Amino acid sequence: MIQRLPSGVRFPVLALLAELIGLGFFGLSAFLIHGSAPFLPYGMEGPLSLVGLACSGVLAGILAAIGLYQLHAYRPMWLAVPVTLLIYLPILAVAAVSTWLFLVFLGVA
Amino acid sequence: MHTRALLVAIFLPVLLLLGVALTLDLPVGGKTEVEGRNTRAAVAVRDPVHPLEEMGTWAFCMPLLKRSYEKVYAFTETDRKNRQPVLEQFQSGLVEALQRFDTVDLYLMAHTNSYHGWVEEIEPELRAKIRLVYNSGCWCARQNDIWLKLGARCYVAHPEAASHAAFFVYFLRRLTAGYSVERAVSEANHNADQFFARLAALVPSTSRDRNAWHHSRGQVFGEGNFKIGALGS
């Protein structure tokens, strides 16, 4: 289905999907560990949150960056600038916050 | 090669990440407190809150605490109506930590609380090993006499009701990076001031939180001039 998307839309959609999946994974892990019916043991918070944030931060950021490159390389400026501001900036902002959290949880920031 | 496109693709994400780090917290300088690590333990407890908050608390705390303490005893209260079992575990975990290690630091990440009741029952000789107690609860600074009398060398807490999570993030990052307790509290207060000011600028409805925070900045009671890695402290 994703392959059928026009090339200009593919990467922002993929980046958005990565964010939704990553944050969803983080939230689901929280409920599976600390919810009313715990399914996963305590102590899994660190590794699972890193997986979720790597997806919604690092992976989404890379996908958005590829999309940005294609946009600015192959589309006219009058289109590239507003698309960057209206579509890529919100996606990248979420990815940047997730990446910062990922680095803090990892202990390198 | 499209140079302009390449520059945009690289620098825009990097600039945003830098902006987030500048807004929230830049990497903390200093070194992890590993000296004498095998002589000390931390006991941390989290009261029952939303699963996402509990997840965030432990995902943030545990890597930092594990780097500075030989063992971290972590307890999560899951049921507000039935706190007894976890609090009993907390007490027995604290006793074990006090028996096994020279120094024990306590991190009480809970709303207004009275964990001191569970510590009072422990023998005074063991309690004397408690060094630092951080209590995030609202109005819990008023317990300073109790904790110092129980044997704690230093008690860090808040005098009023506010959101203290931002303070704790800044505080623990600095404490485990080798800052003294007093310096970590001072910088965490300063950073939390800035955090709430920025938040209020972005979301005006949070100015109430900023005002509440200003009345509930972190306070140090007892001796706060040591670092958690200081030997013999």
Helix (H), strand (E), coil (C) string for A41-85: CCCCHHHHHHHHHHHHHHHHHHHHHHHHHHHHHHCCHHHHHHHHH
The gap between the terminal CA atoms of chain B, to the nearest Å, is: 60
CB spacing of A107 vs B64 below 8 angstroms: yes
Among B104, B182, B184, B196, residue whose Cα is nearest residue B150: B104
Check residues B18 and B232 and name the one with the higher pLDDT. B18
Check residues B1 and B126 and name the one with the higher pLDDT. B126
pLDDT digit string (tens) for A54-98?
Answer: 999 999 999 999 999 999 999 999 999 999 999 999 999 999 999
Tokens encoding A20: 């939704």
Which residues in chain B (134-153) have CB-CB distances under 8 A to chain A? none
CB spacing of B5 vs A35 below 8 angstroms: no
CB spacing of A65 vs B9 below 8 angstroms: yes
What does each C-alpha distance from B1 to A27, A61, B112, B158 come to in angstroms?
A: 40, 21, 60, 57
As a whole number, the mean pLDDT across chain B is 91
Angle between helices A89-106 and A45-53 (to 10 degrees): 150
Q: Are B132 and B106 in contact (CB under 8 A)?
A: yes
**Residue A84 forms contact with B (CB below 8 Å):** yes
pLDDT digit string (tens) for B32-86?
Answer: 666 788 999 999 999 989 999 999 999 999 999 998 999 999 999 877 777 888 8
Q: What is the pTM of this model?
A: 0.91
The whole-angstrom distance between B112's CA and the closest CA on chain A is 21
DSSP designation for B61:
H
